[in-house]
Amino acid sequence: MPGTPPPARRTVLRAAALVPAAGLGITACSSGGGGGDGGSNSSAPTTAVDLGESDEVKVGASKLYTDENVVVSRISDDEYKAFSTICTHEGCPINKLQGHKLICPCHGSQFDATNGKVLHAPAISPLEELPVKVEDGKIVAG
């Protein structure tokens, strides 16, 4: 005979309601590294890498190092900024720099190479900043 559902059913329904929220969290965080295509390397350096002569980046300019997935901007004579060029949208390596604007080949996100900020969606998170210094006239980042 019909009656009120047993308490266990209410518990099951409540648990089911939580699953989509948890799923969204996983989706937002699981994108790193899967989207790389066309490059031999699809991650930013995890250890320091030598990027060459510091004079290769003029004051006020930015340079993209596609093999290392790093962009370096020279803010002043002795101040540099470095960012990972792994797109924060779905992890594609960014391969295009126009002035200070980085353009992702996968879905068109754009970032400012001097501060890592998003200039154009779909990415919403800034690029990861990397430590950078000049040692013996060479730029070392990562």
Q: Which stretches of the chain bind ligand FES, using CB under 6 A?
A: 35, 87, 89-90, 92, 104, 106-109, 122-123
Closest of 99, 93, 125, 131 to residue 113, by C-alpha: 99
- Least separation, in Å, of the C-beta of 37 and ligand FES? 10
Distance (Å, rounded) from C-alpha 68 to C-alpha 5? 60
- Least separation, in Å, of the C-beta of 22 and ligand FES? 24
Q: Are strands 62-65 and 79-84 parallel, antiparallel or unpaired?
A: unpaired
Task: Quote the tokens at residue 64.
Answer: 């993209």
Distance (Å, rounded) from C-alpha 67 to C-alpha 8? 56
Return the DSSP state at 114.
T
- Least separation, in Å, of the C-beta of 122 and ligand FES? 6
CB nearer ligand FES, residue 80 or residue 111: 111
CB nearer ligand FES, residue 96 or residue 138: 96
96: number of Cβ within 10 Å: 13
CB nearer ligand FES, residue 38 or residue 60: 38
Find tokens 């040692």 and name the residue.
135
CB nearer ligand FES, residue 5 or residue 108: 108
- Least separation, in Å, of the C-beta of 109 and ligand FES? 4
